[in-house]
Amino acid sequence: MSALDGLDERQREAASVLRGPVAVLAGAGTGKTRVITHRIAHGVETGAYTPSRVMAVTFTAKAAGELRGRLRRLGVEGVAARTFHAAALSQLGFFWPTLAGAPAPAIVDNKVRLLAQAVESLRMRPDTATLRDIASEIEWRKVSMLSIDEAVGRGRVVGKLPPSTLADIMRAYETLKDERRQLDFEDVLLACAGMLEAEPRVAAAVHEQYRHFTVDEFQDVSPLQNRLLELWLGDRKDLCVVGDASQTIYSFAGADQKYLLEFERRYPDATVVRLETNYRSAGPMLAAANALMRGRSGALELTPARAHPAAEPPLVTAYETETDEAAGIARRVAARIAEGESPQDIAVLYRANAQSAVLLSALAAAGVATTTLGGKRFFDMPEVRQAILALRGAAVAPNDLGFLPTVRDVLRSLGFREDPPEAGGALRDGWEARRALLRLAEEAPPGMTLRVFSDQLLARAKDQHEPTLQTVTLSTLHAAKGLEWPHVYLAGWGEGALPISYAKGFDAIDEERRLAYVGITRAARTLELSWSRTAGRGEREPSRFLGEIGSGILRESAPRAIRGGRRF
């Protein structure tokens, strides 16, 4: 079998071009990860690539783990699939002792805590929220490659701090960090870039080690990440970038889509392939997504890979209050589960974390178990860590029960019971986690042993390959990027919530539009959007994005759900 088998025409075209520069403009649900991994596998099987000389770069440890897992399934081992930070940290750790005669500096484990200690020298005591905002500003400054004076001169506001005070705090933070011989997360990239620029022998060694580069989610690169990539490449062009400008939703953190949009200008000889066949969503969802982004720079026109004759247009519902909206969503989710849909196939998405509490409460009241993305990682949960330790212990103890009965026995000894506790709260979360471990054991192939099973669990933890819980997912739009569900509910589609109230100006509103696009394109089969006419003591109108998509594409559950008005 060839690594190109099973790819559609455009995917095959992208995966067949093994020498860069290559830009794959991949819309939501068009199979970009499939293209990345099959392209690398095709390069290895044809002898064009040596796996150890390939670096595949992405933005999260989970995405890097997914790349490694897919490559393994294609028979490819040894590719460096890493985040920018992991790759830079590895290079610093390797070269720093030789250059400096000492180990690399330690990494700051808590930027906010270090900031709090730094501002004590200025006789200030900002609250934790302000410290977090300052930490975010420090991160933005560094990934944007700006000096402190340049950053504060841009006029970005942090609480009520005058620019001069913000600059003093930033300098105090850098001074304390240097005194303690530490690097923060962004310093890792800066130090690696500086090392490559200043030390020709280091640059030569890196260029010799890595010959072929692939960068996923290229629309999210910052100026600093792009500079580091340039240094890794040197004067070579063997680069494949994959991205979608319509999903640039991290501009506030320094992401700049211009590197994707201007790729052809920088590399006039680049091969550019557009992936616009969507394998995820039914036509009505894609019609809404296309309408929202039409005319925007770099927008792709998505088409469904297959017909969905029974698919209905997205439904829009207006509620009187946010509490009513949460209760309405909970009722509809509970009804869908009662009709036989699996909870894991359902997601409720929202713009800001503050919206989650009322939704969690309403879903728990409706008896719906939930998992919130961005909470504690599955393999960091005490119930999971305890279970893995117990399973490893049982693996060395003789017993005649067999694999699956022993797993059940171990979990029962830790408090697991077949009947779940009520939805909501830590007890239910722990039960769902242990049930997920049992489900993995039930799905294991014949001949599985406790030793192999527990080793596989540790490998999954390393790659952040978390099992699917039998729960409804709650998530912000940011955290939901890259994921998908058959049924999606988008809450809070009112002015002031989406776009959020502090989004001012064309660029900020356009970022909110891209967030809305990400939300719509998470849905495979059904999509419901909702908003509330009041928020606190204020009144709210429907999101302008509903009007931009239009009633010709969206369904209204009652009159004026899209256009507003005080009553249905």
Beta bridge partners of 183: 107
pLDDT on residue 200: 95
29 labelled binding-site residue: yes
Q: Does 526 or 163 have the greater pLDDT score?
A: 526
Q: What HEC string does 86-111 produce?
A: HHHHHHHHHHHHHHHCCCCCEECCCH
* CATH 3.40.50.300 holds for 285-375+471-556: yes
Q: What is the mean pLDDT of residues 419-436?
A: 87
pLDDT on residue 123: 85
Q: Under CATH, what is the fold of the domain 9-88+189-275?
A: Rossmann fold (3.40.50)
pLDDT on residue 248: 94
> Quick one: tokens of 345?
């196939």
- Helices (H) and strands (E) counted in the chain, each on its own, are 23, 19
449 labelled binding-site residue: no
- Tens-digit pLDDT profile for residues 471-495: 999 999 999 999 999 999 999 999 9
pLDDT on residue 567: 34
Please report how the helices 450-463 and 61-73 are oriented relative to each other, as an axis angle in degrees rounded to 10: 130
Sort residue 31 into left (φ over 0), alpha (ψ -120 to 50) or beta: left
- Kindly indicate the confidence band of residue 564, based on its pLDDT and cuts at 50, 70 and 90: low
Beta bridge partners of 81: 56
> Quick one: tokens of 17?
């071009």
In the chain, % of residues over pLDDT 70: 99
Residue type, 61: A
Beta bridge partners of 474: 348, 372
Q: What is the mean pLDDT of residues 160-176?
A: 91
- Find, among 236, 226, 225, the residue nearest to 203 by Cα: 236
Q: What is the mean pLDDT of residues 387-411?
A: 87
27 labelled binding-site residue: yes
Q: What is the mean pLDDT of residues 220-230?
A: 96
Domain range list for the chain = 9-88+189-275, 107-180, 285-375+471-556, 378-463
Pairing of strands 212-215, 239-243: parallel
> Quick one: tokens of 104?
């690399």
32 labelled binding-site residue: yes
Q: Is 565 a residue whose pLDDT tops 70?
A: no
Worst-scoring range by mean pLDDT, 42-51, 61-70, 239-248, 421-430? 421-430
Between CA 167 and CA 483 the distance in angstroms is 39
Long-range CB pairs of 101-104 (<8 Å, 24+ gap) are 104/183
Pairing of strands 22-26, 271-275: parallel
CATH of domain 107-180: 1.10.10
Worst-scoring range by mean pLDDT, 60-69, 312-321, 421-430? 421-430
SS3 153: helix
Helix, strand and coil in the chain, % to nearest 5? 50, 15, 35
- Kindly indicate the confidence band of residue 566, based on its pLDDT and cuts at 50, 70 and 90: very low
Between CA 47 and CA 76 the distance in angstroms is 12
- Cβ neighbours around 453 below 10 Å, total: 21
Q: What is the mean pLDDT of residues 182-200?
A: 95
Q: Is 58 a residue whose pLDDT tops 60?
A: yes
28 labelled binding-site residue: yes
Give, for 258, the enclosing helix (H) or strand (E).
helix 258-261
Q: Is 348 a residue whose pLDDT tops 70?
A: yes
Q: What HEC string does 503-555 produce?
A: CCHHHHHHHHHHHHHHHHCCEEEEEEEEEECEECCEECCECHHHHHHCCCCCE
Q: Does 216 or 561 have the greater pLDDT score?
A: 216
Q: Is 362 a residue whose pLDDT tops 70?
A: yes
Pairing of strands 538-539, 534-535: antiparallel
pLDDT mean across residues, the chain: 92
- Tens-digit pLDDT profile for residues 88-128: 999 999 999 999 888 889 999 899 999 999 998 888 888 88
340 labelled binding-site residue: no
- Kindly indicate the confidence band of residue 568, based on its pLDDT and cuts at 50, 70 and 90: very low
Residue type, 426: A
In the chain, % of residues over pLDDT 90: 72
pLDDT on residue 512: 96
pTM of the model: 0.89
Q: Is 271 a residue whose pLDDT tops 90?
A: yes
Omega prior to 343 cis, within 30 of 0: no
Worst-scoring range by mean pLDDT, 265-274, 484-493, 495-504, 552-561? 552-561
Residue type, 291: A
Give, for 176, the enclosing helix (H) or strand (E).
helix 163-179
Q: What is the mean pLDDT of residues 349-376?
A: 91
Q: What is the mean pLDDT of residues 44-53?
A: 96
SS3 30: coil
31 labelled binding-site residue: yes
- Kindly indicate the confidence band of residue 516, based on its pLDDT and cuts at 50, 70 and 90: very high
Between CA 129 and CA 123 the distance in angstroms is 18
- Find, among 42, 191, 29, 180, the residue nearest to 113 by Cα: 180
Taking a C-beta distance cutoff of 8 angstroms, is the pair 71, 148 a contact? no
Q: Is 1 a residue whose pLDDT tops 50?
A: yes
Taking a C-beta distance cutoff of 8 angstroms, is the pair 383, 433 a contact? yes
Between CA 429 and CA 514 the distance in angstroms is 32
Beta bridge partners of 54: 212
